[in-house]
Amino acid sequence: MIRLSLSAWALVLVLCPSAARAQRVRIDVNGVQKPIPVAVQRFAGDNASPTIDDFYGSLVAGLEYSSLVMHVSPDAFVEPRQTKDFEAPGVPCENWKAIGAEGLVQGELHELQSKLQVRYRVWDTTRCRLLGDVGFRERDRAELPTLAHLVADDIVQRFTGRRGVSSTEIAYVSDNGRKNKEIWLMGADGSNKRRLTNNGSINLFPSWSPDANTLVYTSFKGGLSELYLLFRGTRPGLKLIQTRDEKFRGVWAPNDGTIATVISRQGNTDIYTVSSDGKNPRRLTDDRSIESSPSWSPDGKKMAFVSDRTGSPQIFVKDLSSGEEKRLTYSGDYNASPAWSPTGEWIAYAAQAGNDFDIYLITPDGSYTQPLVTDPRSDEDPAWSPDGRKVAFSSNRRGRKEIYRIDVNGENTVLLTDGSGNCTNPAWSPWLE
Amino acid sequence: MSSFYVPAESLLQSRKFRRLLVISLVGHISVYAALVLRPFHHETRFTASPVMVDLVAAPKLPPAPKPPAPKPAVKEAPKPEPAPPPPPLKPVVKEIVIPKEPQPLAKPKPKPVEAPPAPKKPEPPPPSAEELMAKINEKVEAQEAAKAPNPNPTEEANTPPLPGGAGVFDPVMAAWQARVSAVVRSHWSGASICQATPKFDVDVDAGGHLSNIELSESSGDKSCDETGERALRMSNPLPPPPRAISLTLNLNPKDNE
């Protein structure tokens, strides 16, 4: 009976093509990690100027930094390597598609006095659709890499929906081979390292304001542990809180001027919040044990922190509106340095394994944990990139502690510091503009 | 003396003697018959048991249950002891066959010897799906190598009368689907962007050209959805399908393979 009915089916399909056409078949495609191929033409401008090549190099590097977009080699181009007619209403999409490019970037770059001006277009060559037509952006000539990275991050956003982070910065602590520890700053790719503090003391735990213009950090330069503010473009040294209690760490809230601080008052260490001028202190935790390492959820409504109230340091989460506190980690004797991802989906933390630490990711409800960095040596201090796709951390895998970054899928570990000292406490900046 | 001597003629004529003779003959015959019949019964029993063993051995069943089966049969065999020896054999065979493996008995039919003019294969020996797919892949690859995308769509569309309905395995279509999946996968860069699965409906003509690309179910992320559409457009044209067809493509960000 079954065979008969199937034959009848087949007969219908043969005799009636429209029936066959109407048939719908499902195909599942399982993805693999693969960047989007985008062709980048050198921008139009003064061909003799090395600026064009420098800009192209930085732009391509900024795209590759994302791990999500890769540039198609100009050797494969059928079309010119440099933008010829920027004002043209369209581009020969088929010629770009034919070399495997799903996108095209073209633009022009002008140098006026000491300023660079750039404008560019981003095309989806598969649909032959303009994704972006961006007017002039301007920067000082000296900031060429930053300008190129800003353009690259914007292009990444147009293809992936989330802005790239090549133009962001990472603050960190380095002893530079000496006994003191200073706050340093570098580009997200490890370029342009410069020292921010120079007080010869111990300076620790930098944390960025949401606008990326101010850092709060801990310093022992006055003898006691105090919190200081460091404004971009000014000399450091403004003390945040004037009380005589010891303050160990300040962490800026993501959406307002509130700063979570760890304060030791009458021998009891708890977490408080203060406003950005150091006033209006408010106690968040109240326990005889030690509470420290606060990390805000991206909406500022919850906070992860470390407490030894159960006998060993573990990660907890506090709901700031209800006051409810919930223990998050249960495995391991020592879990510390929680860092809530900007997307809200993970909390990264350092978990002790033997004498060393590994970095793990756990969902904020504690339902799922997965390892992120499990090098045989110690990996600590996780800090999220603002897009939530990368994590910076310190590791002593090469002997001295250095700063690395890794993609959140566990791939592309890259060393960012140069081994000139022990480097710890990375703090990834928000987007600069 | 003479009274002891009786001539044979007179004896044969005597009634008494004839009666005795008949009785003696009957007695002898019956003894003889008894002797003859007795060994015959033995032979029946002996032949019956090998028959049972053969029948039981044919079916491929777990060896353990077999031995017990013949025993009850042997016991039953002697039961139907009725007069004629031949009939009891048949019931014995029936009883042994019934218990477990009726189907295996049917198998021996594929007589390899029987090779008369048989244009029709009695029962199409089930062609393994792998063999079919391998053949199809060879065909498709040969086509691609020759770069002759067979400009005869209608013929191709009619060739394989393949019902691809739900629950029916269609090896030709399955091979093509696998190829399409691989092609789209090679162009899809959304795995590291997408959190959910975008689904697309698309029509494919006999030459593999795509039309009516529609996002039937969004992933909830516009950029992710766009990676899917770009992958489809970059994959256009697909390998020529067995016939014009409509597809639903699910782009899973996680590699399940």
Residues in contact with B56: Cβ distance below 8 Å, sequence separation at least 6, in sequence order:
B66, B69, B70, B96
User: A97–B234: do the CB atoms touch at under 8 Å?
Assistant: yes
Strands of A297-413 (E only): list them.
Answer: 302-307, 314-319, 325-327, 335-340, 347-353, 356-362, 369-373, 379-384, 390-398, 400-407
pLDDT digit string, tens, across residues A12-40? 444 444 444 457 889 999 888 889 999 99
Kind plus residue range of the DSSP H or E element containing A131: strand A129-140
pLDDT digit string, tens, across residues A280-332? 999 999 999 999 999 999 999 999 999 999 999 999 999 999 999 999 999 99
pLDDT digit string, tens, across residues B121-155? 444 444 444 454 445 445 434 444 443 334 333 33
Of A74 and B164, the one with more pLDDT: A74
Task: Please report the ipTM that was assigned to this predicted complex.
Answer: 0.79
Mutation choice for B interface testing from A27, A32, A34, A65 by most B CBs within 10 A: A27
pLDDT tops 60 at residue B207: yes
Phi/psi at A330 (nearest 5 deg)? -125, -20
Q: What percent of chain A has pLDDT over 70?
A: 94
Confidence band for A142, pLDDT divided at 50, 70 and 90: very high
**Per DSSP, what are the bridge partners of residue A229?**
A216, A238
pLDDT digit string, tens, across residues A163-190? 999 999 999 999 988 899 999 999 999 9
Confidence band for B107, pLDDT divided at 50, 70 and 90: very low
Residue of A nearest to B190 (CA): A31
User: B189–A10: do the CB atoms touch at under 8 Å?
Assistant: no
Residues in contact with A333: Cβ distance below 8 Å, sequence separation at least 6, in sequence order:
A312, A352
Residue B168 at interface with chain A, using a CB cutoff of 8 Å: yes
Q: Determine the pLDDT at residue B254.
A: 78
Q: Are A29 and B181 in contact (CB under 8 A)?
A: yes
Of B19 and B89, the one with more pLDDT: B19
Of A433 and A4, the one with more pLDDT: A433
Tokens of A233: 């473009």
The pLDDT mean for chain A works out to 91
Residue of B nearest to A19 (CA): B245
Residue A18 at interface with chain B, using a CB cutoff of 8 Å: no
User: B184–A160: do the CB atoms touch at under 8 Å?
Assistant: no
Q: Determine the pLDDT at residue A256.
A: 84
User: A32–B181: do the CB atoms touch at under 8 Å?
Assistant: no
pLDDT tops 70 at residue A7: no
Q: Determine the pLDDT at residue B10.
A: 56
pLDDT digit string, tens, across residues B172-197? 888 999 999 999 999 999 988 898 99
User: B255–A30: do the CB atoms touch at under 8 Å?
Assistant: yes
Q: What is the mean pLDDT of residues A387-416?
A: 96
Q: What is the mean pLDDT of residues B77-92?
A: 38
pLDDT tops 60 at residue A1: no
Confidence band for A244, pLDDT divided at 50, 70 and 90: confident
Tell me how far apart the alpha carbons of residues A362 and A385 are, in angstroms, rounded to a whole number: 17
Q: Are A169 and A119 in contact (CB under 8 A)?
A: no
Measured distance between the N- and C-terminal CA atoms of chain B, rounded to whole angstroms: 121
